[in-house]
């Protein structure tokens, strides 16, 4: 217990000087978790020599270009053997580096279970920030870290901040939606299913096709859902710059309920159509995507719909909202 209290005191002391840059270990799985952490980095006052730990993907290489980066093998959801392998690799690097880090911070997912214990094993204070997509309570990763008592715990939703889970802001809290007039021409769609392996999302593709709005100008980023029956441009993955360009060039973004894509769409001024993956269709490990879909729809920033109910009206309604951003 003295060890854990000392770590917490070190974290609090490091936060006391609000102007000082801090040398951090920043660890997150690719996708939304990494996008959240990248957006939080300035608020965490991460220095240029902070060390980023993630998986080797087009997204991570683009998003972290020019930053110190350590790649570890991909850890699938609930792959505890992979977690232990990454823990050993990260611990060895941190122990042998001879460097001093102010704190290790992670937004999940499974990589947090490797990186934060590895950091604590070499006396680096640790903090876990639960993903904004967890609107009702902590994830499995969050619960395991809470039980271990090795990290300070943060939630991005005040509604379930209690006990050791402290509310410390929300990465989506600086956006607002304003009305804009409809277009008189056909809408150009960007449909993105994310990159999580090995989960397909055919129900969302079928729903978009069913609206009759997909055409030769539609761009599809399909991840594991390889299809040969789609009009327009179809790719499995995109580099970060290509992904942003596809968002900006579109009239409407239709996306799985992944935080990374939602953040990018909002940053580009788009109110997305958000479709949650469902466990009963083997589209994800659980139904957590429905939490952020419901929250962001109620906030007025997006249109949330189940894949079987997606309509032309949903897509047109999303287009008639423009997203603006304030400082946060």
Could you tell me the CATH number of the domain that includes residue 127? 3.40.50.2000
Do 133 and 198 reside in the same domain of the chain?
A: no
Do the beta carbons of residue 38 and residue 58 sit within 8 Å? Answer: no
Over the chain, what is the mean pLDDT?
A: 92
Q: Are residues 157 and 259 in the same domain?
A: no
**Is the dihedral angle over the CA atoms 266, 268, 274, 280 positive or is it negative?**
negative
The pLDDT confidence band at residue 18, using thresholds 50, 70 and 90, is low
Q: What is residue 6's predicted lDDT score, i.e. its pLDDT? A: 38
Q: List the end-to-end C-alpha distance of the chain, in Å, as a whole number.
A: 35
Question: Which residue intervals of 182-221 are DSSP H helices?
Answer: 202-211
What pLDDT sits at residue 5?
Answer: 41
Torsion angle of C-alpha atoms 42, 12, 169, 48, degrees rounded to 10? 10
- % residues pLDDT > 90 (the chain): 82
pLDDT in tens, 237-256: 888 889 999 999 999 999 99
Judged against a pLDDT cut of 80, whether residue 16 lies above it is answered with no
pLDDT band at 7 (very low <50, low <70, confident <90, very high): very low
pLDDT of 239: 85
- Contacts of residue 9, defined as CB under 8 A and 6 or more positions apart, other chains included, come to none
**With DSSP H G I counted as helix, E B as strand and the rest as coil, what are the percentages for the chain, rounded to 5?**
40, 20, 45
Asked whether residue 328 carries a pLDDT value surpassing 70, the answer given is no
pLDDT bin (cut points 50, 70, 90) of residue 15 is: very low
Q: Mark which of 140, 167, 194 sits at the end of a domain.
A: 167
**Of 167, 193, 225, which residue constitutes the final position of a domain?**
167
What's the average model confidence in pLDDT over 92-104?
Answer: 96
User: What pLDDT was estimated at residue 9?
Assistant: 42
pLDDT for 8: 41
Residue 81: Cβ-neighbour burial (10 angstroms; 0-12, 13-18, 19+): exposed
pLDDT band at residue 305 using 50, 70 and 90 as cut-offs: very high
Confidence of residue 273 (pLDDT cuts 50, 70, 90): very high
Tokens 């789609």 belong to 230
Domain boundary among 136, 167, 198: 167
Task: Render pLDDT for 151-173 as a digit per residue (tens, 0 to 9).
Answer: 999 999 999 999 999 998 999 98
Same domain, 195 and 305: yes
Query: Which residue range forms the structural domain that includes residue 194?
Result: 175-325
pLDDT band at 11 (very low <50, low <70, confident <90, very high): very low
Q: 192 has which bridge partners?
A: 221, 255
Task: Name the residue among 21, 33, 30 with its Cα closest to residue 62.
Answer: 30
Q: Are residues 145 and 239 in the same domain?
A: no
Same domain, yes or no: 156 and 179: no
Is the domain of 127 the same as that of 186?
no
CA–CA separation, 256 and 254 (whole Å): 7
Residue 129: pLDDT above 80?
yes
Judgement on whether residues 154 and 186 belong to the same structural domain of the protein: no
Q: Are residues 180 and 270 in the same domain?
A: yes
Residue 63 pLDDT exceeds 80: yes
Question: What confidence score (pLDDT) does residue 139 get?
Answer: 94
Sign of CA pseudo-dihedral 312, 317, 322, 327 = negative
What is the number of domains present in the chain? 2
When pLDDT is averaged across residues 274-282 and rounded to a whole number, the result is 94
pLDDT of residue 327: 64
**What is the DSSP secondary-structure string of 113-165?**
HHHHHHHHHTT--EEEE--TT--SS--HHHHHHHHHT-SEEEES-GGG-BTTE
Q: What is the pTM of this model?
A: 0.79
154 shares its domain with 196: no
Same domain, 215 and 93: no
Same domain, 132 and 152: yes
User: Is residue 13 located within the same domain as residue 155?
Assistant: yes
């Amino acid at each position: 217990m003295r060890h854990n209290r000392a770590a917490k005191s070190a974290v609090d002391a490091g936060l006391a000087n609000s102007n000082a840059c801090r040398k951090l270990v920043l660890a997150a799985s690719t996708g939304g978790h990494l996008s959240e952490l990248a957006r939080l980095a300035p608020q965490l006052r991460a220095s240029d020599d902070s060390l980023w730990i993630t998986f080797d993907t087009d997204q991570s290489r683009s998003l972290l270009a020019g930053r110190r980066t350590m790649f570890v093998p991909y850890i699938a959801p609930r792959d505890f053997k992979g977690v232990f392998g990454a823990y050993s690799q990260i611990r060895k690097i941190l122990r042998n580096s001879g460097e001093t880090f102010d704190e290790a911070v992670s937004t999940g997912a499974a990589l947090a279970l490797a990186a934060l214990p590895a950091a604590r094993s070499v006396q680096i204070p640790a903090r876990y920030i639960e993903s904004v997509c967890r609107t009702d309570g902590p994830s499995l990763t969050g619960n395991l870290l809470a039980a271990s008592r090795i990290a300070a715990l943060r939630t991005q939703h005040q509604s379930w901040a209690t006990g050791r889970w402290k509310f410390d802001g929300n990465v989506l809290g600086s956006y607002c939606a304003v009305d804009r007039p409809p277009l008189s021409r056909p809408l150009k769609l960007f449909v993105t299913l994310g990159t999580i392996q090995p989960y397909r999302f055919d129900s969302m593709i079928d729903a978009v096709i069913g609206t009759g709005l997909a055409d030769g100008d539609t761009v599809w980023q399909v991840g594991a859902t390889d299809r040969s029956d789609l009009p327009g441009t179809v790719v499995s993955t995109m580099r970060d710059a290509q992904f942003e360009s596809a968002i900006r060039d579109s009239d409407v973004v239709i996306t799985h309920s992944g935080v990374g894509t939602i953040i990018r769409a909002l940053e580009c001024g788009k109110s997305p159509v958000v479709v949650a993956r469902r466990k009963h269709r083997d589209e994800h490990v659980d139904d957590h995507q429905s939490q952020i879909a419901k929250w962001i729809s109620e906030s007025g920033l997006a249109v949330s719909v189940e894949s079987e109910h997606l309509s032309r009206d949903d897509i047109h309604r999303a287009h008639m909202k423009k997203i603006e951003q304030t400082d946060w």
